[in-house]
Amino acid sequence: MLWIRGVTDGAVAFEYAPAGDGPTATVSVRVTGADDRTGKVMLSGLRPAMRYTYRARSRGAEVAGEFVTAPPDDSPAPVRFLWSGDLGGGGVCRPRGAGHRIFEAMARQRPDFFLFVGDTMYADHRCRGPEVEPGADFVATTLAGFRAKYRYHRADPALGKLLSQTSVSAIWDDHEVRNDFAGPHEPLMPVGRQAFLDYWPLLPPTTEPTRLYRKLRWGRLLEVFILDTRQYRSANRELDGPAKTMLGGEQRRWLIDGVTASTAVWKVIVTSVSLSVPTGRTHRDSWSNASVWGVPEENSTGFAVERDMILRTFRQRGIRNLVFLTADVHHAELIRHHPTAEYSFHEFIAGPLAASHGRPRPLDAALNPRTLFARGGLNTFGEISIEGTLFTVRILDENGSGLFTHTIGPD
């Protein structure tokens, strides 16, 4: 799927072809002010495991880009992708006169795709001060305001370059609407969701036009399950228990059944909030029920009952080679969880891309975690490469310098 924002109302024309050779195909999409001049077009007839180049033209303006298509499901082709989250929090906005260095470093990696794991902008934070580009010194409360927040970040040249040459799969967290929001209980959720759909290249099924959770397959080695942890969640203030949910029943069944049926060697689950890092102020916001010291608490307001049910089902069904990717907590950490003697899985955290910095903290002891690496105080992104069934994860800083590398083999 190609995404575009046109210069004016009217048709935007695309030309695309395999890089280096092959016939050129054309397609167009009409953009209007009703959609903030954003448009998407689904391409057909693409070859698998192929790099494509494209050009888009709108009223005399032109932009070029590229993307890589996935290999067939039975192909052992290697894959390399990035993940991170949290852009613009705590007033850490676009530097005046320069782009975010971290996006330049990410673009240099030339990944197959990028997973943008939540807080793709901060609708509820102001960008102000002499050191940042003007244009976002407001809290969004209308559809026009939410769209303006996305436009502000898309004007960053470094981010634009990354998104033009790398496929991206984005999911929201809370700040695309309001801090720690729970969808069914948040009046601004519908307009925040519409702006997210406008500004990211995803197309929900016609039968579920607001659905954001989805999956992608990359050959025999990888399947990625991208969760929506906001739209269906119970109110954070509710006490945890069997009725409390972060995913909602339908998405939870989709996840469990999809991971169970997956024939990929590695199953990666994208969750915008951590399994093991307690977050939230008045009430819990992540999956954990643990205190700030990592001790699980009774009568808490997390979502650990649902989390543990999902993990227990995976264990009972013999699901191996399971990795959770997340962001949200504004620090990087690689964790191996060993909740029972016979079962383990990993949780990998990266970020922020550009936001206030967090720090590692005690993890939820209920998961019996072991930290392999942790670092706060700087902007980071993660890189994962899978080749010959080996799974290698790297954490890199905003200059592209590697901070830590860890490789795991399949069970």
Q: Which two tokens stand for residue 17?
A: 């072809």
Best CA proximity match to 346, nearest among 409, 389, 303, 263: 409
CA distance linking residue 269 with residue 292, whole number of Å: 25
For residues 124-135, average pLDDT: 93
Q: Are 95 and 19 found together in one domain?
A: no
pLDDT of 60 over the 90 cut:
no
Q: Give how far Cα 408 sits from Cα of 274, 388, 390, 393, 405, Å.
A: 21, 12, 6, 9, 10
The structure tokens 């007839």 sit at: 45
98 confidence band (pLDDT: 50, 70, 90): confident
CA distance linking residue 252 with residue 136, whole number of Å: 36
CA distance linking residue 285 with residue 110, whole number of Å: 34
Q: Return the pLDDT at 99.
A: 85
Paired sense of beta strands 61-68 and 38-41, if any? unpaired
Contact residues for 243 (Cβ-Cβ < 8 A; gap 6+):
234
State the CATH number of the domain containing residue 61.
2.60.40.380
Sign of CA dihedral 394, 344, 308, 335: negative
CA distance linking residue 169 with residue 156, whole number of Å: 19
Range in 94-103, 168-177, 208-217 with the lowest mean pLDDT:
94-103
DSSP 8-state code for residue 208: S
Using one digit for the tens of pLDDT, what is the confidence trace for 305-351? 999 999 999 999 999 999 999 999 999 999 999 999 999 999 999 99
- Among residues 15, 35, 69, which one ends one of the domains? 69
Q: Are 57 and 177 found together in one domain?
A: no
For the chain, the maximum distance between any two Cα atoms, rounded to a whole number of angstroms, is: 63
18 confidence band (pLDDT: 50, 70, 90): very high
Q: Return the pLDDT at 21.
A: 81
Best CA proximity match to 391, nearest among 165, 224, 262: 224
Segments forming the whole domain that contains residue 344: 71-408
Q: Are 58 and 203 found together in one domain?
A: no
- Among residues 17, 35, 69, which one ends one of the domains? 69
Q: Return the pLDDT at 104.
A: 97
20 confidence band (pLDDT: 50, 70, 90): confident
Based on the number of CB atoms within 10 Å of its own CB, is 34 exposed (0-12), middle (13-18) or buried (19 or more)?
A: exposed
Based on the number of CB atoms within 10 Å of its own CB, is 216 exposed (0-12), middle (13-18) or buried (19 or more)?
A: middle
State the CATH number of the domain containing residue 213.
3.60.21.70
* Percentage of residues in the chain having pLDDT higher than 70: 100
Using one digit for the tens of pLDDT, what is the confidence trace for 368-379? 999 999 999 999
97 confidence band (pLDDT: 50, 70, 90): confident
Structural domains of the chain, count: 2
CA distance linking residue 328 with residue 119, whole number of Å: 7
pLDDT of 87 over the 90 cut:
yes
For residues 378-397, average pLDDT: 97
91 confidence band (pLDDT: 50, 70, 90): confident
Instruction: Kindly report the length of the chain.
Output: 411
Q: Return the pLDDT at 399.
A: 97
Q: Are 38 and 154 found together in one domain?
A: no
For residues 147-163, average pLDDT: 96
pLDDT of 152 over the 90 cut:
yes
DSSP 60-92: TEEEEEEEEPPPPTT----EEEEEE--EEETT-
Q: Are 255 and 344 found together in one domain?
A: yes
How many of the other CB atoms lie within 10 Å of CB of 172? 28
Q: Are 57 and 90 found together in one domain?
A: no
pLDDT of 101 over the 90 cut:
yes
Q: Give how far Cα 253 sits from Cα of 97, 204, 236, 247, 249, Å.
A: 47, 18, 21, 9, 6
Q: Are 78 and 49 found together in one domain?
A: no
Q: Which two tokens stand for residue 129?
A: 């001060």
Q: In what order do the strands lie in the sheet with 113-117?
A: 167-171, 113-117, 79-84, 380-387, 390-397, 402-408
Q: What is the mean pLDDT of the chain?
A: 96
Q: Are 207 and 300 found together in one domain?
A: yes
How many of the other CB atoms lie within 10 Å of CB of 403? 13
Q: Are 199 and 348 found together in one domain?
A: yes
Q: Are 86 and 27 found together in one domain?
A: no
pLDDT of 295 over the 80 cut:
yes
102 confidence band (pLDDT: 50, 70, 90): very high
Q: Are 110 and 32 found together in one domain?
A: no
Q: Return the pLDDT at 337.
A: 98
The structure tokens 């040249």 sit at: 157
pLDDT of 46 over the 80 cut:
yes
Q: Are 121 and 15 found together in one domain?
A: no
Q: What is the pTM of this model?
A: 0.97
Q: Which helix (H) or strand (E) holds 192?
A: helix 189-199
Residue with more model confidence, 390 or 99 = 390
Q: Give how far Cα 195 sits from Cα of 141, 209, 321, 366, Å.
A: 12, 13, 35, 37
- Among residues 69, 93, 121, which one ends one of the domains? 69
pLDDT of 281 over the 90 cut:
no
Q: Return the pLDDT at 59.
A: 86
CA distance linking residue 215 with residue 217, whole number of Å: 7
pLDDT of 22 over the 80 cut:
no
For residues 183-208, average pLDDT: 97
